[in-house]
A and B are shown apart, each in its own frame.
Chain A
Amino acid sequence: MPMSRQEAVEFLLEHYQNPQHRGQVPDATFVRSGGNPGCSDVVEMSAHVNADGTLTEVAFDGQGCTISMAAADYVAEITEGMSLEEIENFSAEQLMDDLGREVVMTRPTCATSALSILKQAVHEYRMKLAQEHAGG
């Protein structure tokens, strides 16, 4: 059942004001930055990938509006323990629903920026692994 508007506001504010995943993962497998400098949103995502291909630790850093920062903290939280494939399949639409579509629909780029950056990082990491594998 979707969150009410008020529940979504409270959910986002909790992530914005009390982020549990702000910082950078020590010995990160990858770190990638992105965002929308034109509107002052800058997000960095870092993660450690386990030998079995799951993300054991994910963190975000950066600055931006309430929705972009809250979404980044949520993305870091929800993707810990996911496989690389699961992250690549995690859709922006699903994230918008998780965050409370009614509230974030006016700011879709802010809401999905962290996920986009993380997915790009995962994609590049998988490409690198494939190249290394192909190279023997």
Chain B
Amino acid sequence: MSRRALVGGAAAAAGSLLFATLPEGAAGQGASTSPPAQTPSDIPVDPTKVLGAPTSSTSGRSPFVVTGRTPTGAVSGSSLTPLHQFTGNITPTDLQFERHHAGVPTIDPVKYQLLVHGLVEREMVFTLDDLMSLPSVTRLHFLECSGNGRAGYKGIKPDLSPQNIDGLLCNAEWTGVSLSTILAEVGVRAGAEWALAEGGDAALLSRSVPVSKLRDDAMLVYAQNGEPLRPPAGYPVRLFLPGWEGNTNVKWLRRLEFNREPNMSKDETSKYTDPLPGNKARMFSFELDAKSTITYPTFPNRLVRQGWVQLSGLAWSGRGRITAVDVSTDGGTSWTEAQLQGTPGVKAAIRFTHMWKWDGAPATLMSRAVDETGYVQPTFAAFREGRGPGTDYHYNHIRAWKVAADGVVTYGGEA
């Protein structure tokens, strides 16, 4: 019997579900998924005695697996990754979070053009074929909205799941052209310190990006997990800035303009700036500092028996590699180093696990990431002291999950 089958709550009550369904009672929840090809009632009593299904063009999910992003339906809003349903390092492409400002545009790849102009030797237009003919690079990186964690900081309540709190996160393999290659093609001129990146959506979303980042590790991405980008992720081409807040990774990229100064566009002034104590706000706060989040056990899970429980979660840093993840089961009084599942990549998320022997007493679970710069994920108290209760974006404090004596797990806020 799998460990998940020992987990109580709605999932186990329904019988044989491998993964928990979306939490009932979590505010505003409602998965939007295609109906499964089969319903559980079609499942034979003994699958070894009947012929199975034939080959097909694409694989659907098992009818027992119910999953989906939530909430859905907004053209200016987000849908969140069901982090609590995953166990590995890679986010399934079709469940990657969305954040749109004017919906998902439909762009014909044959008509697609990228205009590069401004302080360059050669103002140029690139087609998708042009970009795909240039040397490609393939790298594993996380992508996270800097608003991720807002509910867990400013909207604390017990029935928040990892999806609700940290679902504006994904980890994927990205393929595209190094921006440094494009810079050589156009010849950036002296004095060009910033580039305005503009999307081809109905918001013409724009962000100013330092040219130093474009020279460093930026990419023009056209594929994710081996296939063309999906439209919500920026098909056919997006800017990808490893480790930097999601909003700067401009989707449906149609223009790069090289300038002496940042443009002070809406999303780099009125949004995506971080109010600080002292009545100031930090701007161009691009990097996402080290962070981790437990994905199991969390709300809506319930531990139904004492004994060994595997804690599992993800850790990532926008400044390089994760070097360690510590876990605590006593609210941060003592810490133990967790196992990392694989070799941590640069600006990539890594799965951590830890076997914990639950004695049936109330417990508070936490995780704490450390990155190669020596940065240690801050406590909730340190974060609130440093940034203030009303700050916005970059919520990377330690998250706490409370396990009650009856095994019910809830979000603990600062715990």
Do A and B form a real pair? no
**Chain B residues with a Cβ under 8 A of chain A:** none
